[in-house]
């Protein structure tokens, strides 16, 4: 199979020919149709996340069809352990959470996203920048019908982990989004469906991004250096920039929450206690639970959430990553394997 391989952090991915992987007893062999590109992929390729598997096939927003199953696979979904076999060519999605231990104190308390021994797709495990991938069936999701493969792929991280961050804003009515990329363009659709108002903050001078946010229904958009026209109930920081934390704390009202949605961020500058005072809350969100995924993928078709995608053939993964790095992607970047462009 063709795959894009990371051999060392800081180096471009290399197009290679590898044997198709064999599923272990608990894995599905998946023919990859699409794999969306996440900012986390960029952090891994750039060496900002420590100790990736090497060499590594990146990519953790995989959509494909089941080609073969390991002998212990009952049904790919954990709640449907009826002993049914997997329907032929079932369409599945593989997210960032690839495997958990099921017996640490986090796993046992409904917080498998924090599992001590979690393994992540496209980081500790090979991912979806390839024509085939294997994945533990218990962590895969069924893709809702009505979504073409390439449209569904960004839901698997931009959507799922974005949803976890969004949920942490509780019943906030006015929410600021700092950074308006893949996650934000998905979550604004859910927020509007639920009657909330989104205020979009982008790099100063990013007129296109600000316009894109307004097209998707943001009530206000502007530079992250500005204050919103009125105090917000909550803010989510999607961009990996530490100085946005004091900016967001200044933008939220008393009791407001600021959620950091990314896995990596530049250092946070010091800030006066008074902008945290009055019960403002600052928190991060790490990874996802399977429950987040189930909930979000059930909601997405109801809205219905539509992703805006920028397609790249698999062999142009480096170009896709560079476009993301340079802020050239409106919506989500998605890799497809030749005949699957839809
Ligand atoms: Zn665990
Ligand atoms: Zn991701």
Distances (CA, A) of 300 to 20, 81, 140, 186, 190: 32, 24, 17, 9, 8
Of 309, 329, 304, 332, which Cα lies nearest the Cα of 192?
A: 304
Q: How far apart are the CA of 114 and the centre of ligand 1, in A?
A: 7
Whole-number pLDDT of residue 238: 97
261 Cβ contact list (under 8 Å, min separation 6): 161, 162, 164, 165, 183, 236, 237, 238, 284, 285
Whole-number pLDDT of residue 327: 92
Residue with tokens 């599945």: 92
Whole-number pLDDT of residue 267: 97
Beta pairing, strands 174-178 & 232-237:
parallel
Q: How far apart are the CA of 120 and the centre of ligand 1, in A?
A: 13
Q: How far apart are CA 136 and CA 229, in angstroms?
A: 47
Those residues whose beta carbon sits under 5 angstroms from the ion ligand 2 are 38, 40, 157
Of 244, 233, 203, which Cα lies nearest the Cα of 221?
A: 203
pTM over the 0.85 mark: yes
Ligand closest to CA 61: 2
Q: For the purposes of burial, counting CB atoms within 10 Å of the CB of 170, is it exposed (0-12), middle (13-18) or buried (19 or more)?
A: exposed
Q: How far apart are CA 71 and CA 122, in angstroms?
A: 24
Fold of 2-154+288-336: Quinone Oxidoreductase; Chain A, domain 1 (3.90.180)
Helix (H, G, I), strand (E, B) or coil at 249: helix
Q: Which CATH class for the 169-284 domain?
A: alpha beta
Domain locations in the chain as residue ranges: 2-154+288-336, 169-284
Tell me whether the CATH fold assigned to 2-154+288-336 matches the one assigned to 169-284: no
pLDDT in tens, the chain (342 residues): 999 999 999 999 999 999 999 999 999 999 999 999 999 999 999 999 999 999 999 999 999 999 999 988 876 554 555 556 667 788 999 999 999 999 999 999 999 999 999 999 999 999 999 999 999 999 999 999 999 999 999 999 999 999 999 999 999 999 999 999 999 999 999 999 999 999 999 999 999 999 999 999 999 999 999 999 999 999 999 999 999 999 999 999 999 999 999 999 999 999 999 999 999 999 999 999 999 999 999 999 999 999 999 999 999 999 999 999 999 999 999 999 865 544
Q: How far apart are the CA of 229 and the centre of ligand 2, in A?
A: 31
Whole-number pLDDT of residue 342: 46
């Amino acid at each position: 199979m063709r795959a894009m391989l990371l051999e060392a952090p800081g180096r471009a991915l290399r197009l290679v020919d590898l044997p198709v992987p064999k599923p272990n007893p608990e894995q599905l062999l998946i023919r990859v149709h699409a794999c969306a590109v996440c900012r986390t992929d960029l952090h891994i390729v750039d060496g900002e996340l420590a100790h990736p598997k090497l060499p590594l096939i990146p990519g953790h927003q995989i959509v494909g069809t089941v080609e073969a199953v390991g002998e212990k696979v009952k049904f790919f979904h954990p709640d449907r352990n009826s002993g049914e076999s997997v329907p032929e060519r079932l369409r599945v999605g593989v997210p960032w959470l690839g495997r958990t231990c099921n017996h640490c104190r986090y796993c046992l308390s409904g917080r498998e996203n924090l599992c001590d021994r979690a393994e992540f797709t496209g980081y500790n495990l090979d991912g979806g920048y390839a024509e085939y991938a294997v994945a533990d069936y218990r962590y895969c999701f069924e893709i809702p019908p009505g979504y073409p493969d390439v449209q569904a792929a960004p839901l698997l991280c931009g959507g799922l982990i974005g949803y976890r961050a969004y949920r942490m804003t509780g019943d906030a009515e006015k929410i600021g989004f700092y950074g308006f990329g893949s996650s934000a363009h998905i979550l604004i659709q859910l927020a509007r469906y639920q009657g909330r108002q989104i205020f979009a903050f982008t790099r100063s001078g990013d007129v296109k991004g600000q316009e894109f946010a307004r097209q998707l229904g943001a009530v206000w958009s502007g530079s992250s250096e500005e204050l919103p026209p009125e105090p917000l109930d909550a803010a989510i920081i999607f961009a990996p920039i530490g100085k946005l934390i004091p900016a967001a704390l200044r933008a939220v009202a008393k009791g407001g929450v600021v959620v950091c949605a990314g896995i990596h961020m530049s250092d946070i500058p010091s800030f006066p206690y008074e902008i945290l005072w009055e019960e403002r809350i600052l928190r991060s969100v790490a990874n996802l639970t399977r429950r987040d995924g189930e909930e979000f993928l059930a909601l997405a078709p109801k809205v219905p959430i539509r992703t805006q995608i920028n397609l790249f053939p698999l062999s142009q993964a480096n170009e896709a990553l560079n476009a993301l790095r340079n802020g050239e992607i409106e919506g989500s970047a998605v890799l497809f394997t030749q005949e699957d462009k839809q």
